[in-house]
Amino acid sequence: MGNLLKRCGDDNGACSAFRRAAAYGHPAWTPRALTDLGELLEQHGDLGDAAKSYEQAIALGDPSNNDGANIWSRQAAIRLEILFSRRGWTEAAQKVLMHATKEDPDNRARFVVDRAHTLIKRGDLGGAAAAFREAISLGRENAPQAAFSLNRLIREHGDLVAAHDDEAEPGPASDE
């Protein structure tokens, strides 16, 4: 219901619907409702409550696991890490990244690619390109996928990627 209200332009109604869904406590739908609520709050500049909503969604699952049961916890972790990075809160962003990946290099590479796709959805093509480059530099099993996605992004939006590259804030620095 919340997403329908959001698409219809009723953000207040959407927030209420997401809060009701989260309060219901369903193990699969509560993390999604909290993630969607956090994203809407973030879009309206309510970064503190957005972060709290993301943190609640993360706590309800295992963001290091990218399976169906934990996908919304992982999405919340990606969004929280992006929010912290954009605010310049590098240490907080690193903590989210470490928690969400359990410091596993393969999981980190998958998380970075997921971050890139989230940034594309938000229109941050420069940030997405930087995330794909980070994933490639990690040299893990998904590096070819990241290279293909970066190539496609540049091929389809080269001018926009180049324009955003100079403005985009990089994601958290790699430990490797």
Upper half-sphere CA count for residue 4 (Cβ side, 13 Å): 2
pTM, two decimal places:
0.79
Contact between 134 and 112 (Cβ < 8 Å)? yes
If asked whether residues 125 and 162 sit together in one domain, one would say: yes
Gap between the Cα atoms of 37 and 2, Å rounded: 9
If asked whether residues 43 and 124 sit together in one domain, one would say: no
Going by pLDDT thresholds of 50, 70 and 90, the confidence category of residue 128 is: very high
Going by pLDDT thresholds of 50, 70 and 90, the confidence category of residue 26 is: confident
* Secondary structure letter of residue 98 according to DSSP: H
Count of domains in the chain?
A: 2
**CATH number of residue 34's parent domain:** 1.25.40.10
If asked whether residues 79 and 154 sit together in one domain, one would say: no
Nearest of 111, 132, 102, 135 to residue 120 by alpha carbon: 132
If asked whether residues 141 and 70 sit together in one domain, one would say: no
Domain span at 125: 104-176
Q: Is the pLDDT of residue 3 over 60?
A: yes
